[in-house]
Amino acid sequence: MTNSSKFSASEQAAIYRVIEARRDVRKFRSDTVADEILERILRAAAHAPSVGYMQPWNFIVIRDRKIRTQIHDAFQIANDEAKAMFSAEQSERGEAYSKLKLEGILESHLNICITCDRSRSGKIVLGRTCQADMDLYSSVCAVQNLWLAARAEGVGVGWVSIIKPEDLHAILQLPEHVVPIAYLCVGYPEHEFATEPELKTAGWLPEIPFCEFVFHDKWGQK
């Protein structure tokens, strides 16, 4: 079976390269993402790990202009509120925030909302008995799978988190037990994929040296 087989050095290199080359894309061309590519990246998402094999995800593929305009309006309101928060903290921070392009809801070929159905597979879920958010995390793993598969296909993905969950609930008619995890803009990027995160390039925050992330045996121990 293919699953038990090994990965060659060149295959490993491709896997590491896609992990490093994945970017959050905010500027899109309007070119169509072919249906077979869309299906491949959604199937990759569905191969994510899930707590207790719950498979709590759904993928809402959004093409309708009216719905996307409603989502964009919801983004604008949340973004204005965010801008005000940064301005209140420090006026230059508010200005820098205003200059960033943070979404491509209308320009991208399509949008995808990845959700988590908290009621799926019943009340008691293996592996979720004392960590209640594990189902949300499963859906996040699906997002990351989709993102990497899309990058391999040359398709850009941008995660827009500046929308109130209650607005997503209302616009996408989500049932109460369904949590919107990620609202994604999906399409071909306007330019080449950037070589580093845009917020690093823009000087928003610096890259943290890798060695600072690693501890041994307990918190803070180097």
Sign of the alpha-carbon dihedral angle for 146, 58, 119, 178:
positive
Q: How far is the CB of 30 from a second copy (least distance, A)?
A: 18
Interaction mask 183-222, a second copy, x per CB under 8 A? ---------xxxxxx-xx---xx-xx-x--xxxxxxxx--
- Residue 92 in contact with a second copy, rule: CB under 8 A: no
Who's near 152: CB < 8 A, 6+ residues apart? 18
**Among 29, 76, 106, 136, contact with a second copy (rule: CB under 8 A):** 136
- Residue 6 in contact with a second copy, rule: CB under 8 A: yes
- Residue 21 in contact with a second copy, rule: CB under 8 A: yes
User: Which residues within the stretch 50-79 sit at the binding site for a second copy (CB under 8 A)?
Assistant: 51-55, 57-64, 67, 78
**Among 33, 104, 108, 145, contact with a second copy (rule: CB under 8 A):** 145
- Please check whether residue 201 is in contact with residue 41, taking contact to mean a CB–CB distance below 8 angstroms: no
The Cα 82–Cα 55 span in angstroms is 33
Q: Fill in the amino acid letter for 185.
A: C
Q: How far is the CB of 204 from a second copy (least distance, A)?
A: 6
- Residue 177 in contact with a second copy, rule: CB under 8 A: no
The Cα 114–Cα 116 span in angstroms is 7
Residue 65, Cα to own-chain centre: how many angstroms?
21
DSSP 191: S
The Cα 148–Cα 78 span in angstroms is 28
**Among 148, 184, 185, 186, contact with a second copy (rule: CB under 8 A):** 148
User: Which residues within the stretch 99-128 sit at the binding site for a second copy (CB under 8 A)?
Assistant: 100, 102, 115, 121, 123-124, 126-128
- Residue 176 in contact with a second copy, rule: CB under 8 A: no
Residue number, 83 or 107, with CB nearest to a second copy:
83
What angle, rounded to 10 degrees, do the helices at 65-89 and 165-172 form?
170
